[in-house]
Amino acid sequence: MTVDKDDSEVAVPPRVSPIEFRLDLASGVPTYLQIVHQVEHALRLDYLAPGDQLPKVRDVVAELAINPNTVLKAYRELETKGLAVGRPGQGTFIVATLGQVALPELAALRRSLVSWVTAADSAGLDQDGIAALVANVLRDFRERRGGTADRRGAAQHEEEGVA
């Protein structure tokens, strides 16, 4: 509650996080890493920005039916990476970004990718087939570049077991 200029109380709506986590139980990736990766992807795509609040631990636990320690581990990992900071009694907030591409270029790349995924679907590939093909092309791309991975993080994902 806040106090208005005429000394009456005004309800302030709670902050809503711009991200909602989803789990892929068949992926083989630990749950806490799935949360970390989703935050990193949202940062790269500018869906999250410094100052944004991550969902409260209790909300993630209720939504995904997971152990609170799993969410805390993910949030601690984000803090260790310098991407988020926990504020006692307030929540966990984004403090850094991983944005790589300016918004106009990102939009054009996304349209191109949507077109490609549509063509792959029309050719008969399912979601797993599309993901396998993309992982294979990325692997070949990294090898052609001399094993340097992509400039901003693919090597780290390989260490974490992500294609």
Can you tell me the mean pLDDT for 136-150? 75
Element (H, E) at 60: helix 57-64
The per-residue pLDDT for 99 is: 62
CA end-to-end span of the chain = 47
**What confidence tens digit (pLDDT) does each residue in 8-25 have?**
565 655 567 889 999 999
**What confidence tens digit (pLDDT) does each residue in 48-90 have?**
999 999 999 999 999 999 999 999 999 999 999 999 999 999 9
The per-residue pLDDT for 8 is: 58
Can you tell me the mean pLDDT for 21-33? 94
Q: Is residue 114 very low, low, confident or very high in pLDDT (cuts 50, 70, 90)?
A: very high
The per-residue pLDDT for 10 is: 58
User: Does the pLDDT at position 161 exceed 60?
Assistant: no
The per-residue pLDDT for 32 is: 97
Return all residues near 70 (Cβ < 8 A) that are at least 6 apart. Answer: 31, 32, 35
Which residue from 99, 55, 45 is spatially nearest to 75, judged by alpha carbons? 55
The residue among 2 and 40 whose pLDDT is bigger is: 40
Q: Which amino acid is at 2?
A: T
Distance separating alpha carbons of residues 3 and 8, to the nearest angstrom: 6
Q: Give the tokens for residue 6.
A: 């005429």
The per-residue pLDDT for 67 is: 96
Determine whether 98 is exposed, middle or buried from the number of CB atoms within 10 Å of its CB (0-12, 13-18, 19+): middle
Average pLDDT, the chain: 82
User: Does the pLDDT at position 124 exceed 90?
Assistant: yes
**Please, are residues 19 and 55 in contact by the beta-carbon 8 Å criterion?**
yes
Task: Indicate the pTM of the whole model.
Answer: 0.60
